[in-house]
Amino acid sequence: MVGGIGRRISNVVHTQGWVHCHSAATDASGLTKSIMDELHEYFTSKDLPNKVRIAVACCVNMCGAVHCSDIALVGVHKTPPRIDHENLKNACEIPSTIASCPTSAISPDPTKKSVKIKLEKCMYCGNCYSVCPAMPISDAKNDGIAIVVGGKVANLRTPPKFSKLAVPWLPNNPPRWPEVTDAVKTILVAYIAGAKKYERVGEWIDRIGWEKFFKVTGFAFTIQHVDDFTFARETFRTTPTFKWT
């Protein structure tokens, strides 16, 4: 299809998914196809209040632009890596495996000539599996998709925005992912109905407030929406704006 210009859904930025990515929690390529089959008219002919960028990343390492897109989907693991102690000592370099963890959840386990994971620190990103094949993280039952909304790169009218969590988890249900596709369309329809002309999704949410966003979309507000991250006070005030010094 030819489209994506002006006040419409633009081309979806997405990663590869199950075919090419070893730490993928979902199939970004298949998910993109399913979403665009459902929303093609908003790509080709139907005008929106403003352009809408959709992005899909198959894990929280986010090769796609999900951190700054209007509507974005990111594959999430809900279980920690499974350590194959017998093979790890032969297949992996332990210092590199420890260094690969962004939250310092991995430490040496000298008794097993292996490593151990501090579960309360693990963010299930799969970084360790990238350098150590003896720490698989994929889980067909518990892997799924989170939806984040409201990000943008442009600084027109308001500063750039990071995406924020809308739906913490939806199941992987290939080949058409109906639950995820329905949720994306729900957000888009609510945005079309409530946004003013030229408002981006994040600007619309800021104007009506998150309480009304959850009301008009029908999404449940859960404990996962409460940001108790150590640096939350600073990150709430962060934008993707480049600052020259």
As a whole number of angstroms, the distance between CA 107 and CA 122 comes to 12
pLDDT (tens digit per residue) in 101-129: 999 999 999 999 999 999 999 989 899 99
Q: What angle do CA 203, 207, 213 make, to 5 degrees?
A: 90
pTM score above 0.95 = no
Give 180 or 65, the one with higher predicted confidence: 180
Domains of the chain from N-terminus onward: 13-78+139-235 (3.30.413.10), 85-131 (3.30.70.20)
Tokens of residue 242, six digits:
């480049």
Residue 232 near residue 191, CB atoms below 8 Å: no
Query: Cis peptide leading into 175, omega within 30 of 0?
Result: yes
Share of the chain above pLDDT 90, in %: 76
Instruction: Please determine, for residue 155, whether its predicted confidence score (pLDDT) is greater than 70.
Output: yes
Contacts with 98 (C-beta within 8 Å, 6 or more apart), sequence order: 106, 107, 108, 115
pLDDT digits (tens, 9 = 90+) for 171-228: 999 999 999 999 999 999 999 999 999 999 999 999 999 999 999 999 999 988 887 6
Edge-to-edge order in the sheet of strand 54-57? 13-14, 54-57, 71-76, 144-149, 164-171
C-alpha span between 152 and 146 (Å, rounded): 18
* Cβ neighbours for 230, distance < 8 A, ≥ 6 positions apart: none
Q: Is the pLDDT of residue 234 over 70?
A: no
Asked whether residue 229 carries a pLDDT value surpassing 90, the answer given is no
Facing residues of 149 across strands?
71, 164
**How many angstroms separate the CA atoms of 216 and 30, rounded?**
28
